[in-house]
Homo-oligomer: A and B are copies of this chain.
Amino acid sequence: MNAEIGESVSIGPGSVVYDNVSIGDGTKIGEFCVLGHEGPGPSSKLKIGRNSIIRSHSVLYSSSEFGDRLETGHHVVIRERTVAGANLRVGNFCDIEGDSSFGDYCRLHGYAHVGKGTEIGHFVWLFSLTTATNDPLPPSMISAPVKIGDGAVVCVGVTMMPGTSIGKGAFVSAGAQACGIIPPGAVVAGHEGKIVSHVSGLIHFESGTRHPWMRHFDRGYPPEALVRLQQLKDEVLATRNDLVLSHP
């Protein structure tokens, strides 16, 4: 094995680490993983940051670069030319198709599917079974990838149609079909992807919890992230008066 392996790295039974891989200090690799699988075309290193956790049966292609504290679930596939900031967390059975970018502290739940070329900001949430598509007339050679702004939340089962641009702090409700340009702080719902309210109107009455989510959720973030989250919350709240609803 000619890979560059940092200090205190553990590699689980059976896992295959090809030569073009660089693994940061303190990272743990689970069982039956494949790291550095080569896709078509020219290929460069797979770089995994420090203190990461790659769970069993994960496949990470070459030519990608991940910041520190990457965490993958089990059975994850991440293809070539994916770039991610700090502490990306990817749930079980996720499929990231490559040529995509993630800011810091993004969270993907199970079966999230990120199409080729998707651009994702910081602190973005993709819940289970969300799909970012990219072909407006399938099948075609046209590519219209999705963009997702900082702090946006995409709920379970949402399809983001080709070319969708989700604004900072926007919220796409469970089962919705998102399309077009979604303004910052907007709440989108239903199969026509209508803008129905501002995120500051999302409230859990029993507990008094309300959005934007940075008001009440801070599990697992280090101090430097918490400062950024408070700043982001203020920016999202400031969009309240600019929002125009689909059905005013």
Q: Could you tell me which A residues sit within 8 Å of B by CB distance?
A: 12-14, 16, 30-32, 34, 37, 56-57, 59, 73-75, 77, 92-93, 95, 107, 110-111, 113, 125, 127-129, 131, 133, 136-142, 153, 155-157, 159, 161, 174-175, 177, 190-191, 202-204, 207, 209-211, 213, 216-217, 219
For the residues of A in contact with B, the DSSP-based class is: loop
In the complex, the chain B residue whose C-beta lies closest to that of A191 is B175
Please name the residue on chain B nearest to A189 by beta carbon.
B191
Contact A92 B77 (CB under 8 A): yes
The answer to whether A110 and B113 touch (CB under 8 A), given A92-B95, A142-B207, A202-B137, is: yes
Does B75 contact A57, Cβ atoms closer than 8 Å? yes
Kindly provide the distance from the CB of A190 to the nearest chain B CB, expressed in whole angstroms.
Answer: 7
Q: List 16 A-B contacts (CB under 8 A).
A: A14-B16, A14-B32, A31-B32, A73-B77, A75-B93, A95-B110, A131-B156, A133-B156, A137-B203, A137-B204, A137-B210, A141-B216, A141-B217, A141-B219, A159-B174, A159-B175
Residues B110 and A129 in contact, CB atoms below 8 Å apart: no
Specify which chain B residues have a CB less than 8 angstroms from the CB of A57 in the assembled complex. Answer: 32, 57, 59, 75
